[in-house]
Each structure stands twice: as structure tokens, then as C-alpha cells.
């Protein structure tokens, strides 16, 4: 039934987004990109793809310019989708921007804390997460003020309510705030996609559940050896995901990576995250494992987002497209960075999408 009326409001945009998706760089594109000698070569190669002439009028090329321009393309596309969307898709698209808003808020408070230049910080903000009163964030000195003066009128306000207790703004607290907000955001988003009904909820819940689990595992691993108590840690875990509730409880008590691995063993799909040949594990150390883990998380995310395109008549494609494109920009930046710094041996460490 959902297929019957889906196209009335969303058919056009789904068509657009699937068209955009066809422009995502494929393995063969990457193969030729990685052969480039200079950034100029990269520009030549990219001009043959959907990126077209987006760098044609740049006098000098740097990695930042490439990634900025690429992000700008994504933002333009997203804004096109957003301005053509109607309820509930428009709300769904707004939800996508919330995560960028959270990042921007945290970036600004952290920056202000370290007394960085506000304008420089504003430039570094992700354009998808920009909101009107954002610049005023930099005057806030404590959480209460932050909430009362700025965030109260943003969509993030409800998420913020839970962490008003944290009084001072220091690095640890900001990190706690970030994770609390993100937890609230994920849970809210999870609930929201539930109201959209199948198949959107099916697709999105799979992706969001993984996102939640990824955060849970990351929080656990990053909290080893910090002053974060186990009770505090448990509070930061999103109450969704496939690890919830048993895995979350176990993770809250975990003390080292080995225990995290044991928890993940229970989920067949997650088993491979820690799947090392025994010789490697010693060499890498904890840091190495975390880095490798991050890489595998990205791969899984890409896989899940790709699978979202297999389903028709649902909103997951919009979320997935943004995420895939983001990954592509990360890949481009990585490749450009490798070329610029002449680190050719690591150039193939990007995450292929198609």
C-alpha cells in the first residue's frame, strides 16, 4: 500500500536522489584517481565524473579547497531536496541536519573554551548544520547560559534538557554533553522513523541501530583510562541498537578491549570488527585496533547505506545518500591529502563505495 501514494509527494525527489546516487564515484574512478601525480591531475580526472568543472575556476588547488567545493556540491544538492520536500519528508531531512548541528555546537563551544577565533570556527562549521543564532554560541560560558540564550530556540533544545546539570564547560563535560545530545538525538530520530511506518522504519532503524552501537562501542573504548566513571558511561549509551540492553550493560562494565570484543561476539555481524589474525593484534596495540575498528565501522556504514537503495518507496535513500556522499568526500580528501603529502603507499586506504 505504501507504494501506492508514495510517488505523489516523494516520487520526484526519490528520482532525483537516485540520480544523484548514480553519480557517486565507482571503483574504476577511484582506480584512476589514485594514479594521479598531482592535484592538477586529480582535477582533470574529476572533471570526467559528475563533479564536472567544480574546480575549473580555482587558481591554486589545495586539499581544503577540494573538500570544501565537494561539500558545497553536496550542500547544494541537499538544499535542493530540502526546498522541494513536503511533510513528513521535510522533517526527515531536517533530522539529518540535526547531527551536523550537534557537531557545530560542540565545535563552537570547544573552540571558545580554547579561545580560538570565532570567525575561523564559524568557517569550519559544517554548512548543513548552520543555524541562525549559531554565532552567539561563543559567548556562553556555562551550560545553563548556552541553553537559555541560544539553543532554546533550535531544534536541539529538547535533547539538551538532559544535560543541564553539568555546570562547567571543560573538555570532559563537553564530550559528555556531545554524547548525551547525540544519544537523545539518535533515540528521537529512531522514534521518528518509527512513526513513518514500514519500509522507511525498517531501513532507517537498521542504519540507526548500527549508528547507536558504533557510538556505544566508541564511547566505551575511548573512556578507558579517563576519569569518566562507569555509571556516567552507562548514561551515555543510546537506548537503542542491537547491543541494547544486554550488550550495553556489559559494555558499561568493560575494562579493556578484550571485554568489548566478547560483547560484540554475540552479534554475528559485529564479530568481524575485532576479527584479527592473532599476530596482528599484538603489533597494533590498543590504538591500532581502534583505528582499524573505525575503518571497519565506516565500511559497515557504507554497506548498510548502500543496501538502503535496494528498497523502494522509503526515505532511507535520502539519509543514505548524504552519508555515502560524505564518505566520498572523506575519500577524496584522503586521496588528495596523500597526493599532496606524497604518501602514495597509503593512498589506497580509502573506503570504496560502489
Which listed residue (22, 48, 86, 167) binds other proteins by CB under 8 A? Answer: 48
Stretch that binds other proteins, among 35-43, 193-201, 202-210, 268-276 (CB under 8 A): 35-43
Asked if 133 is part of the footprint of other proteins (rule: CB under 8 A), the reply reads yes
Write down the least CB distance from residue 149 to other proteins, Å: 4
Asked if 135 is part of the footprint of other proteins (rule: CB under 8 A), the reply reads yes
Write down the least CB distance from residue 38 to other proteins, Å: 9
Write down the least CB distance from residue 192 to other proteins, Å: 27
Residues 6+ apart with CB under 8 A from 346: 338
Write down the least CB distance from residue 137 to other proteins, Å: 8
- Using CB under 8 A as the binding criterion, the count of chain residues that bind other proteins stands at 27
Asked if 138 is part of the footprint of other proteins (rule: CB under 8 A), the reply reads yes
3-state secondary structure 11-54: HHHHHHHHHHHHCCCCHHHHHHHCCCCCHHHHHHHHHCCCCCCC
Write down the least CB distance from residue 178 to other proteins, Å: 21
| CA–CA distances in Å: residue 132 to residues 40, 60, 144, 247 | 37, 32, 20, 39
Q: Can you count the helices (H) and strands (E) in the chain?
A: 15, 0
- Say if residues 111 and 98 touch (Cβ distance below 8 Å): no
Interaction residues for other proteins, span 92-131 (CB under 8 A): 118-119, 122
What is the C-alpha separation between 238 and 223, in angstroms, rounded? 15
Write down the least CB distance from residue 121 to other proteins, Å: 9
- Say if residues 140 and 149 touch (Cβ distance below 8 Å): yes
Asked if 136 is part of the footprint of other proteins (rule: CB under 8 A), the reply reads yes
**Cell 535533547 belongs to residue:** 159
Give the DSSP per-residue string, 44-85: HHHHTSTTTTTTTT-SS--HHHHHHHHHHHHHHHHHHHHHH-
Interaction residues for other proteins, span 59-98 (CB under 8 A): 59
**Would you give the binding string for other proteins spanning residues 141-160, x where CB under 8 A is met?**
----x--xxx-xx-------
- Say if residues 297 and 221 touch (Cβ distance below 8 Å): no
Binding stretches for other proteins (CB under 8 A): 32, 35-37, 40-41, 44-45, 48, 56-57, 59, 118-119, 122, 132-133, 135-136, 138-139, 145, 148-150, 152-153
Amino acid at each position: 500500500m505504501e507504494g501506492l501514494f508514495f510517488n505523489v509527494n516523494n516520487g520526484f525527489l526519490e528520482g532525483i536522489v537516485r540520480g544523484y546516487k548514480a553519480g557517486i564515484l565507482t571503483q574504476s574512478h577511484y582506480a584512476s584517481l589514485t594514479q594521479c601525480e598531482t592535484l592538477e591531475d586529480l582535477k582533470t580526472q574529476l572533471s570526467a565524473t559528475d563533479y564536472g568543472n567544480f574546480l575549473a575556476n580555482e587558481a591554486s588547488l589545495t586539499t581544503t579547497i577540494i573538500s570544501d567545493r565537494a561539500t558545497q556540491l553536496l550542500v547544494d544538492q541537499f538544499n535542493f531536496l530540502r526546498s522541494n520536500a513536503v511533510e513528513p519528508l521535510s522533517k526527515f531531512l531536517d533530522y539529518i541536519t540535526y547531527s551536523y548541528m550537534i557537531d557545530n555546537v560542540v565545535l563552537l563551544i570547544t573552540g571558545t573554551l580554547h579561545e580560538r577565533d570565532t570567525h575561523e570556527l564559524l568557517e569550519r562549521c559544517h554548512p548543513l548544520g548552520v543555524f541562525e543564532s549559531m554565532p552567539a554560541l561563543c559567548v556562553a560560558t556555562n551550560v545553563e547560559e548556552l541553553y537559555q540564550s541560544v539553543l532554546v530556540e533550535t531544534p536541539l533544545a529538547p535533547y539538551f534538557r538532559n544535560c543541564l546539570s553539568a555546570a562547567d564547560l571543560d573538555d570532559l563535560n563537553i564530550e559528555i554533553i556531545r554524547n548525551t545530545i547525540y544519544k537523545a538525538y539518535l533515540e528521537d530520530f529512531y522514534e521518528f522513523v518509527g512513526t513513518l511506518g514500514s519500509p522507511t522504519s525498517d531501513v532507517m532503524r537498521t542504519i540507526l541501530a548500527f549508528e547507536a552501537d558504533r557510538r556505544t562501542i566508541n564511547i566505551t573504548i575511548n573512556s578507558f583510562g579517563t576519569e569518566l566513571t562507569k555509571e556516567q558511561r552507562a548514561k551515555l549509551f543510546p537506548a537503542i541498537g542491537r547491543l541494547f540492553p544486554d550488550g550495553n550493560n556489559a559494555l558499561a562494565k568493560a575494562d579493556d578491549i578484550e571485554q568489548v570484543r566478547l560483547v560484540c561476539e554475540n552479534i554475528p555481524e559485529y564479530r568481524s570488527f575485532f576479527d584479527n589474525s592473532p599476530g596482528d593484534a599484538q603489533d597494533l596495540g590498543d590504538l591500532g585496533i581502534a583505528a582499524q575498528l573505525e575503518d571497519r565501522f565506516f565500511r559497515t556504514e557504507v554497506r548498510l547505506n548502500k543496501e538502503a537503495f535496494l528498497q523502494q518507496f522509503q526515505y532511507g535513500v535520502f539519509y543514505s545518500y548524504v552519508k555515502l556522499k560524505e564518505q566520498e568526500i572523506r575519500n577524496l580528501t584522503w586521496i588528495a591529502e596523500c597526493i599532496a603529502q606524497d604518501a602514495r603507499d597509503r593512498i589506497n586506504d580509502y573506503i570504496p563505495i560502489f
